[in-house]
């Protein structure tokens, strides 16, 4: 699957969860410590623009603040990311960052951002009582890729301590526990 197709699918599922937040649901606690459902969307809308601006000189359009309208803020943001991935003129661009070096733009979006959207889909679903199911094949691939990076990921501060789950737990449960979520 191309980065554009991958984002369209994963962001589409996240969009469904954003649109499915029930009345009053935006202030429900999320699995990320200290966050509510609205903060999950805010995180995704806020970190990528700075990453793309600093590393590739790309300015993403801003929608309304997530605090005012999380649905519209997400839609403006995800449409802008999809437009970059769909535009072949961006295919030659590179993101440069001291932590990752120089990475092709579409690859960087896929590896760091789309993967983040995938994982935070569970957070938003859990916070708002929606379908928490994640694609098991994607979970397996991500877990396999992340396991050798355990120490690096923990040291980054972006993942909590690993949660113990039974050895025979399904792959989604094992992935979520690996990144510090309590999926049980």
Same-domain status, 79 and 162: no
The CATH number given to whatever domain includes residue 29 is: 1.20.120.450
Same-domain status, 111 and 143: no
Residue owning tokens 């003129």:
89
Same-domain status, 35 and 99: yes
Q: Using CA atoms, how far apart are residues 128 and 51, in angstroms rounded to an integer?
A: 28
Q: How many domains does the chain have?
A: 2
Same-domain status, 118 and 172: no
Same-domain status, 126 and 138: no
Chain-centre distance for alpha carbon 131:
16
Q: Using CA atoms, how far apart are residues 87 and 23, in angstroms rounded to an integer?
A: 36
pLDDT tens digits, 9-52? 999 999 999 999 999 999 999 999 899 999 999 999 999 999 99
User: What is the span of the domain harbouring residue 76?
Assistant: 3-131
Q: Using CA atoms, how far apart are residues 90 and 138, in angstroms rounded to an integer?
A: 25
Average pLDDT score over the chain:
94
139: pLDDT strictly greater than 90 = yes
3 within 8 A of 114, measured Cβ to Cβ: yes
Residues near 137 by beta carbon (within 8 Å), at least 6 away in sequence: none
Same-domain status, 127 and 139: no
Same-domain status, 142 and 127: no
Confidence band of 158 (pLDDT split at 50, 70, 90) = confident
Confidence band of 150 (pLDDT split at 50, 70, 90) = confident
């Amino acid at each position: 699957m191309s980065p554009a197709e991958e984002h369209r699918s994963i962001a589409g599922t996240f969009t469904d969860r954003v649109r499915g937040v029930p009345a009053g649901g935006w202030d429900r606690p999320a699995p990320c410590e200290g966050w509510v459902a609205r903060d999950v969307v805010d995180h995704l809308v806020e970190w990528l623009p700075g990453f793309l601006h600093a590393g590739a000189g790309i300015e993403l359009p801003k929608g309304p603040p997530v605090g005012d309208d999380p649905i519209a803020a997400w839609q403006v943001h995800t449409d802008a990311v999809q437009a970059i991935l769909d535009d072949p003129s961006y295919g030659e661009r590179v993101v440069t960052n001291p932590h990752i070096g120089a990475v092709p733009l579409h690859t960087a979006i896929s590896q760091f951002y789309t993967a983040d959207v995938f994982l935070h889909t569970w957070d938003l679903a859990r916070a708002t009582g929606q379908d928490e199911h994640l694609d098991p094949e994607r979970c397996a691939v991500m877990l396999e890729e992340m396991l050798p990076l355990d120490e690096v990921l923990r040291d980054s501060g972006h993942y909590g301590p690993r949660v113990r789950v039974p050895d025979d737990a399904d792959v989604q449960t094992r992935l979520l526990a690996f990144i510090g979520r309590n999926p049980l």
